[in-house]
Amino acid sequence: MEWSLTVDKALPRPVRVILRGVGQVFFCGNAVTGLIFLIALFIGGLVAGLAATIGVVTSTITAYLLGFSEDDIDAGLYGFNGTLVGPCLFLFLEYSPQLWLYVILAAILSSVVLAALIRILTPYRIPASTSPFVLTCWMFMVAVYSFDKFTPGPVLPTPEIPSIVAGMGGLSIEAWFTVWTDDTVKMWYTALTKGIAEVMFADNILVGILFLIGIAITSWRGAFMALCGTVVGVVVPVVLGANQNLIEMGLYAFNPVLTMMAIGWVFLKPTKKSAILALLAGILTVVCQAGLANFLAPIGLPTLTFPFVLVMWMFLFAAGMSKYWSEPKI
C-alpha cells in the first residue's frame, strides 16, 4: 500500500534497514511490514522477539563491517537470515545465558554464507533466500552434542533411524473434509493461521494473522499466495495421511507458504500461469518436507525452511529454461 512506502522512506536509515530486514523474511522490503512482524514476534514471546532483534541487528552490522553491497544491505537482504537465526536457536536449544553469544556468532556466519551464496547464484538470477539461515542453524544445532556449554532442548528431534509411524492417528481424512463441527472449524482455523506463524517459529494463531496483515500491506497478491500456501500445507498432508499433530501445528504449511509466495508473487512475472506453477510447487514442497524430515532423522535436525529453498531453487532454475518465464523478475 502506498502509505506504507511513504512511512518506510521517512524513517531514519538504521531503523528502516533493520525493519526491512525483518520484513524480508516474507520477501517484504518494507519497514512497516517489518514492524508489524516484529511486534507479532514479541507477542509470540519475549525471548523470541529479543532474539530476532539481536539476530537482525548483528547480521546487518556484520554485512556493513565486511563491506558487502550497500544496496543489498539497504534492502534488508542481510537482515532476514539473522532474524530467523535468533528465535530458531532459542527454540531448539535449552536456554542458557551463553546462548546469546552463540546466536550472535551464528548471525555473523549467516551474513558470510549469504554473501557467498549471492556470489554463486546471482549469475543465474536465483535468490539465496533463507538457505544461509538453514545451513548456519543446522551446523550450530548439531554441534551442541559435542559441547558441554550447550544442551539440545526438548523440541529438537532426537536422532533416530526413520521408521514408519502412524500418521493420522485419531482423525480420518473424512473428519477434516466433511464433518463440520465447531471442533473441525477450530482445527482448520488453527492449522491455517499457525502455518503462516511457524515461518518464524511462532505456535500462535494471532501471530499468523498479524503476519498475513503485514504481508497484505506490502502486496495483496503476496498475501493471497501465502493463504493459498497454508491451505496447500494442510490439505495435501491430510490427503496423504500425514501426522495429525504436525498438520494442526502448521508444521507442514510454513514451507508451502514461502514456496507459493516466491513462485507466485516475488520471483516470476505474476501471471495466471505463474499461479498454477506456484500451486504445483506448493504441493511438491509437502512431499519434499516429509522426505527431508526423514532424511535428517538420523542426526536429529528439523527441516527448517529448506524444503521451500530446494523446491524454489528447482522451479526458478527451471523457469529460466522456459519460454514462458525466461525473463524472471529478479
Range 49-78, binding a copy of itself (CB under 8 A): 66-69
CB of 267 to a copy of itself, least distance (A): 14
Gap between the Cα atoms of 289 and 294, Å rounded:
9
- Give the amino acid at 17: V
Q: Considering only 48-56, 84-92, 260-268, 315-323, which stretch makes contact with a copy of itself by CB under 8 A?
A: 315-323
CB of 150 to a copy of itself, least distance (A): 8
Q: Does 315 bind a copy of itself (CB under 8 A)?
A: yes
Report the residue from 220, 322, 327, 329 that binds a copy of itself according to the rule CB under 8 A.
Answer: 322
> Of 1 and 246, which has the nearer Cβ to a copy of itself?
246
| DSSP for residue 141 | H
| DSSP for residue 152 | B
Q: From 328, 206, 316, select the one nearest 259 (Cα to Cα).
A: 316
> Of 10 and 166, which has the nearer Cβ to a copy of itself?
166
CB of 298 to a copy of itself, least distance (A): 4
Q: From 9, 30, 27, 10, select the one nearest 19 (Cα to Cα).
A: 30
CB of 99 to a copy of itself, least distance (A): 12
CB of 302 to a copy of itself, least distance (A): 14
Range 122-161, binding a copy of itself (CB under 8 A): 124, 138-152, 159-161
Between CA 271 and CA 25, with CA 209 as vertex, the angle to 5 degrees is 60
Gap between the Cα atoms of 193 and 204, Å rounded:
8
> Of 162 and 206, which has the nearer Cβ to a copy of itself?
162
In this structure, are residues 306 and 315 in contact, taking their beta carbons and an 8 Å threshold? no
CB of 38 to a copy of itself, least distance (A): 27
Q: From 281, 286, 290, select the one nearest 325 (Cα to Cα).
A: 281
Q: Considering only 32-40, 179-187, 221-229, 316-324, which stretch makes contact with a copy of itself by CB under 8 A?
A: 316-324
| Residue 65: Cβ-neighbour burial (10 angstroms; 0-12, 13-18, 19+) | exposed
Using the Cα atoms of residue 140, residue 141, residue 146 and residue 151 in order, give the sign of their dihedral: positive
Q: Does 184 bind a copy of itself (CB under 8 A)?
A: no
Q: Considering only 4-12, 85-93, 214-222, 277-285, which stretch makes contact with a copy of itself by CB under 8 A?
A: 277-285
CB atoms within 10 A of CB 45: 18
Number of residues in contact with a copy of itself, rule: CB under 8 A? 75
Q: Does 107 bind a copy of itself (CB under 8 A)?
A: no
Phi, psi angle pair for 93, to nearest 5°: -110, 155
CB of 289 to a copy of itself, least distance (A): 8
Range 187-226, binding a copy of itself (CB under 8 A): none
Specify the 3-state DSSP secondary structure of 160. Answer: coil
> Of 40 and 275, which has the nearer Cβ to a copy of itself?
275
Range 160-179, binding a copy of itself (CB under 8 A): 160-168
Range 229-248, binding a copy of itself (CB under 8 A): 237, 239-243
Tell me how far apart the terminal alpha carbons of the chain are, to the nearest angstrom: 21
CB of 285 to a copy of itself, least distance (A): 11
Between CA 120 and CA 126, with CA 121 as vertex, the angle to 5 degrees is 175
Q: Does 324 bind a copy of itself (CB under 8 A)?
A: yes
Gap between the Cα atoms of 51 and 104, Å rounded:
9
Q: In the block, which residue shows the cell 511490514?
A: 33
> Of 2 and 148, which has the nearer Cβ to a copy of itself?
148
Q: In the block, which residue shows the cell 551464528?
A: 106
Report the residue from 31, 118, 212, 304 that binds a copy of itself according to the rule CB under 8 A.
Answer: 118
